[in-house]
Amino acid sequence: MVGIGPERIEVSETKTRREETDDSLPAAVTVGSAAIAARLRQAILDGKYADGERLPAERDLARHFDASRSTVREALRRLEEMHLVSRRIGSGTFVNYKPALDESNIAEVTSPIELIEVRLAIEPQMARLVAVNATARDLERLGEALRRVENCGEDREYFSRADEQFHLMLAESTRNPLMVWLYRQINDVRSHAQWDGMKDKILTAARIAEYNRQHRELYTALCNRDVDAAVEIIGAHLEKARGDLLGVDAR
């Protein structure tokens, strides 16, 4: 009997007895294609096979499930219809399933560069909406957030927190609740522990001063309702942050 898993188990009486007691394997019983498909489906959903991993060959599956190869082939066809596997002629059957990402773990798998890329996709539109939609009170509150971030001196931790709040205030000033929700998720990623090790390298006094100069220019453009200037400034601001991150990663 051949095991169903990343490592093939050689056929022998000793290993056959071991395999029969291995709870990690789908149960080897004589069943039809639907039941085989259901057992393999559960193994895939449980993470016993990673996305892109090749399943055992049809003959090995047939031996394990005590079924004909045509029955196994039909089971694999069912899995393909479920979009859980893809079958490649001459190569085998490969898992085509990635489990849904737990939101609580998104910061763990998002790199600083990936975060900046998302901000580059979102914040220019934020600036455009602020220039059009912000009320006088919104701009007043944005000015207060700007003064806080400008008063951080060379305190990296204070600057980082104040910068998050300044950009969140930009989101709130769009008057779009979904944009605000999205940016709160971005700030959750920004506050992750992986950033702590980079702050000392990235947030030099010179860079903090340059970031704040750009913040001030952005605020002025928004107060003037200059959409084009606001979009250009925030784009340049984020591109600089991206370049600074790449410079640190390259060292």
Q: What is the CATH number of the domain that holds 195?
A: 1.20.120.530
pLDDT number for residue 24: 41
Residues 90 and 107 in one domain: no
Residues 75 and 123 in one domain: no
pLDDT number for residue 19: 37
Residues 145 and 58 in one domain: no
Contact 57, 51 (CB under 8 A): no
pLDDT number for residue 191: 77
Q: How far is CA 69 from the centre of its chain?
A: 39
Residues 84 and 109 in one domain: no
d(CA 198, CA 193): 10
pLDDT number for residue 51: 87
On whether residue 148 sits in a domain, the answer given is: yes
Q: Say which range, 28-32, 60-64, 75-79, 134-138, has the weakest mean pLDDT.
A: 28-32
Mean pLDDT of 188-192: 81
On whether residue 4 sits in a domain, the answer given is: no
Of the three residues 33, 62, 95, the one that is the final residue of a domain is 95
d(CA 82, CA 98): 13
On whether residue 7 sits in a domain, the answer given is: no
Contact 65, 27 (CB under 8 A): no
Range of the domain at 36: 13-95
On whether residue 162 sits in a domain, the answer given is: yes
pLDDT number for residue 200: 72
Picking from 105, 82, 84, the residue whose alpha carbon sits closest to that of residue 188 is: 105
Ramachandran region of residue 80, left (φ > 0), alpha (ψ -120 to 50) or beta?
A: alpha
Which residue would you say has higher pLDDT here, 187 or 30?
187
Quote the mean pLDDT of the chain: 84
Q: Please say if the pLDDT value at position 244 is more than 60.
A: yes
Contact 3, 66 (CB under 8 A): no
User: Where residue 31 sits, what CATH number does that domain have?
Assistant: 1.10.10.10
Ramachandran region of residue 132, left (φ > 0), alpha (ψ -120 to 50) or beta?
A: alpha
Residues 232 and 121 in one domain: yes
The predicted-structure confidence for 20-30, as pLDDT tens digits, reads as follows: 333 444 554 55
Residues 196 and 132 in one domain: yes
Q: Say which range, 40-44, 147-151, 222-226, 245-249, has the weakest mean pLDDT.
A: 245-249
Of the three residues 95, 129, 160, the one that is the final residue of a domain is 95
Mean pLDDT of 154-180: 94
Residues 34 and 133 in one domain: no
pTM for this entry: 0.60
Q: Please say if the pLDDT value at position 133 is more than 90.
A: yes
On whether residue 223 sits in a domain, the answer given is: yes
Mean pLDDT of 143-154: 95
Residues 136 and 203 in one domain: yes
Of the three residues 43, 65, 95, the one that is the final residue of a domain is 95
Residues 214 and 120 in one domain: yes
The predicted-structure confidence for 87-126, as pLDDT tens digits, reads as follows: 888 889 999 887 765 555 777 778 888 999 999 999 999 9
On whether residue 151 sits in a domain, the answer given is: yes
